[in-house]
Amino acid sequence: METAEHGCENCGAVLPERFAEARMVTCAHCGSTSVLRDEVFRLAGEGGVIRDAPSLIRLDEEVQVQGQRLMPVGLAQFDYGRGWWDEFWCLDADAAGYWLSADEGDYALEQALPRADWPKRFRPKLGAEVEIGGTAFRVTEAETATCVAVRGAFPEVLEVGESHLYFDLTGPDGEIATHERWDGGEGWSIGRWIDPWEVGGT
Amino acid sequence: MSTAQAVSFNCTQCGAGLDALGGGRVQTHVCPYCGAELDAQDGYKVLARFRDMERPETPFDIGMTGTLWDVPFTVIGTIGWVEYHAGRKWEWVDHQLFSPTHGYGWLTVEDGHVSYARKSRRVPSPAGVSDYLIETSENRPRVKLDGQSFVYYGSGVAKPFFIEGEFNYRPTLEDTVRYVSLAGDGAMLDIVEGGGEREYELVQLPDQAALLTSFGVPKGRWPKPRGVHPLEPLRRSPLQLFARNLFLGASALTFVLALILSTFGQTVGRSDEVSVWWGAKVPFEITQGNRLTEIEIWGNADNSWAWFEAELLDEEDEPVAVFERGIEYYTGSDWSEGSQRVRTRLRLPPGRYSLEVGMTEAEVDWTGGNKTSRMRVSVTEGVVSTFWLWWTAVLLGLAGAVFLAHRVYHYSRLMSGSDWSDD
């Protein structure tokens, strides 16, 4: 969904504004990131160096996830010390947005949980249990990860070098929920684990 | 994710050089030289030391790489399992696999068969199969996962006796694992319980030769399969499939043809239902001399029999045919035997005829029977004999059924290794 053209403040190249809700894009030419302020993309910093590894998902290449067609338009890489994972911002045919994470064969497809649905009395620690939308979740992973690289377009601002404290919660039947905290913000997303054998090109 | 290249380090127990092949989710690394279990998440600190482990026989070595359904995997760990039950001992070997795109899985070598297992995050319904259910159920317990049904195959309790290499969890020689295996169409579902957790694994049987070749296993080390693996596909040559389809198709066609031909014919004479004391007389005319004429005699025999004599006369009242036929019909509350009708077919040249039929003898020879008292006669021309067609359809169908029986036999072989008993 192309909208009005914007130029990169660093090199002048046209920024690939990919969808109406984009709040952040990286320049394909110089790799710098720009964020939307006052309807204009302002230079925000470097996009970092993307690490290459074999992957079933590639930026700007449509992918089928359990039969659902998605277009990855943004890629953020998060380092958690002993490795990293890829977080793709994807759009479906109706321009609905999804976060598709890929970490050594662990794939999860999530959507932002509206603030009104955020669980109450969540204790952020391993093993803690919480109910979301009537489903019981348990914290199975808690780590701090640093955003090390970004490419493409995102619905929110991701800063390279920014640390995120995240908690992965697992439901009883392949559900996943994620709680994230970073400087100045927090958020919840919810979705499902994806069998890698159900991820493929279109 | 982690770097695609192997990272080398030294065992913090014995100093041996080791390669980390398994990615960032590896929890422990068991040194093959000294048996030290190292914490891959915390500077390879020594967690435990496994001694005097007997190395199991397996065609796979740590570091081997190959493909499963075109996806590259690396063998990163080995666990030998043992199970004792009723004085018998079973052993098998699990190899932890790693793929940067498809994560962690297992290659299992058991009875010379090599299967691939991967974790399922989706939960079947019901979520577990208890020992109590297995012991008390009249039929094999079943679970459903993603619409597919899995039927009980086997269960047991196993312990590791050998651990080496990298794992995405922390195995110990003290582990005890309860497993329940259920067989589905093309895959098995293993429910594995241990350490207070329950996990689900989907098991598939890859093409054995392609798998072993892909992982570079020398032919001399290929395992020799014993028995039939429950996922072994039913292999049929194209010729067998063609023959099966040919027999079943021809049988169906012949059956339909016989059904259609059996409706041919036109009634040219019919008597009223009359008393057997009077007999029946039916005049008729034949116009289709090249076809069969069918004479049907009906009597209301009821747990009794009756004998009829028929005389067929031509236009000059000269006898053309004389024949005798009997009917017998017996019934009970839920059975019947015999028929109240009898048919005779003969070829008659075109012309006018007269048929006279009378009952010559009858008797009640079953409790509560009634002697035949009423009769009726009809004549149909243009009848086609379908006797041989019916038999041909049956024989062709039986030939096709041999292939279907082969499938049933194959299924029974697949389940022959099951520990289920109908008792």
Residue where one domain finishes, among candidates B221, B249, B277? B221
Name the closest residue on chain A to residue B3, using Cα atoms: A53
- The count of domains in chain B is 2
The answer to whether residue B259 sits within a structural domain is no
The answer to whether residue B288 sits within a structural domain is yes
Name the closest residue on chain A to residue B168, using Cα atoms: A104
pLDDT of residue A201: 73
Looking at residues B406-419, what average pLDDT do you find? Answer: 86
Rounded alpha-carbon distances, angstroms, from residue B89 to B44, B86, B92: 35, 8, 10
Give one word for A152, left, alpha or beta, with left for phi > 0 and alpha for psi -120 to 50: left
The answer to whether residue B354 sits within a structural domain is yes
Looking at residues B99-128, what average pLDDT do you find? Answer: 94
Q: Least CB-CB distance to B101: which of A55, A84, A193?
A: A55
Q: What is the pLDDT of residues A13-44, one digit of tens each?
A: 777 666 566 777 888 788 777 776 665 566 66
For residue B194, count CB atoms less than 10 angstroms from its CB and return exposed for 0-12, middle for 13-18, buried for 19 or more: middle
Q: What percent of chain B lies above the pLDDT cut of 70?
A: 99
DSSP codes joined into one string, chain A: ---S-EE-TTT-PEE---STT--EEE-TTT-EEEEEETTEEEEEEE-B-PPP---S--TTS-EEETTEEEEEEEEEEEE-SS-EEEEEEEE-TT--EEEEEEETTEEEEEEEPPGGGSPSS---STT-EEEETTEEEEEEEEEEEEEEEEEEEESS---TT-EEEEEEEE-TTSEEEEEEEETTEEEEEEEEEE-GGGEEE-
Q: Are residues B206 and B319 in the same domain?
A: no
Nearest-Cα distance to chain A for B24, in Å, is 5
Q: Least CB-CB distance to A82: which of B41, B120, B121?
A: B41
Q: Are residues B209 and B278 in the same domain?
A: no
**What is the C-alpha to C-alpha distance for residues A145 and A74, in angstroms, rounded to an integer?**
18
Give every CB contact of residue A153 below 8 A, 6+ residues apart in sequence: A16, A17, A18, A19, A22, A24, A25, A26, A73, A74, A89
**What is the C-alpha to C-alpha distance for residues B160 and B174, in angstroms, rounded to an integer?**
8
Q: What is the pLDDT of residues B283-299, one digit of tens each?
A: 999 998 888 999 999 99
Q: Are residues B31 and B156 in the same domain?
A: yes
Q: Are residues B299 and B200 in the same domain?
A: no
Residue where one domain finishes, among candidates B161, B196, B221? B221
The answer to whether residue B418 sits within a structural domain is no
Q: Which residues of A touch B72 (CB under 8 A)?
A: 54
Write the CATH number for B356. Answer: 2.60.120
Of B70, B71, B101, which to mutate for an interface test with A (greatest number of A Cβ within 10 Å)? B101
User: Cβ of A105 and B104 within 8 Å?
Assistant: yes
The answer to whether residue B237 sits within a structural domain is no
Question: Are A23 and A35 a contacting pair, CB within 8 Å?
Answer: yes
Q: Least CB-CB distance to B123: which of A82, A103, A173?
A: A173
Q: At what angle do helices B238-261 and B387-414 cross, to 10 degrees?
A: 140
CA B94 from centre of chain: 29
Q: Are residues B179 and B326 in the same domain?
A: no
Looking at residues A119-126, what average pLDDT do you find? Answer: 88
Q: Which residues of B touch A149 (CB under 8 A)?
A: none
User: Cβ of A193 and B121 within 8 Å?
Assistant: yes
Of A104, A109, A169, A192, which to mutate for an interface test with B (greatest number of B Cβ within 10 Å)? A104
Looking at residues A156-164, what average pLDDT do you find? Answer: 87
The answer to whether residue B26 sits within a structural domain is yes
Q: Are residues B98 and B11 in the same domain?
A: yes
Which residue would you say has higher pLDDT here, B328 or A80?
Answer: B328
Q: Are residues B42 and B126 in the same domain?
A: yes
Q: Are residues B12 and B132 in the same domain?
A: yes
* Residue B2 neighbours by CB distance under 10 Å: 20
Nearest-Cα distance to chain B for A8, in Å, is 31
Question: How sure is the predictor about A83, in pLDDT bands with cuts at 50, 70 and 90?
Answer: confident
User: Cβ of A197 and B118 within 8 Å?
Assistant: yes
In sequence order, what are the beta bridge partners of B75? Answer: B97
Question: Are B356 and B254 a contacting pair, CB within 8 Å?
Answer: no
Task: Tell me which residue range forms the domain holding B355.
Answer: 266-385
Maximum distance among all Cα pairs of chain A, rounded to whole angstroms: 50
The answer to whether residue B358 sits within a structural domain is yes
Q: Are residues B202 and B281 in the same domain?
A: no
User: Cβ of B102 and A105 within 8 Å?
Assistant: yes
Tell me the residues of chain A between 78 and 107 that have a Cβ less than 8 Å away from chain B.
80, 82-86, 102-106
Q: Are residues B16 and B88 in the same domain?
A: yes
Residue where one domain finishes, among candidates B202, B221, B240? B221
Q: Least CB-CB distance to A104: which of B25, B120, B123?
A: B25
Question: How sure is the predictor about A2, in pLDDT bands with cuts at 50, 70 and 90?
Answer: very low
Considering Cα of B120, then B121, then B126, then B128, what sign does the dihedral take?
Answer: positive
Q: Does A54 touch chain B (CB under 8 A)?
A: yes
Q: Are residues B136 and B204 in the same domain?
A: yes
pLDDT of residue A157: 84
- Position of tokens 């990272």? B7
Q: Least CB-CB distance to B100: which of A104, A172, A197?
A: A104
**ipTM metric:** 0.81
Q: State the count of interchain CB pairs (< 8 A) between A and B.
A: 67
The answer to whether residue B398 sits within a structural domain is no
Domain layout of chain A by residue ranges:
6-46, 63-201
Q: Least CB-CB distance to B23: which of A51, A52, A83?
A: A83
Looking at residues B368-385, what average pLDDT do you find? Answer: 94
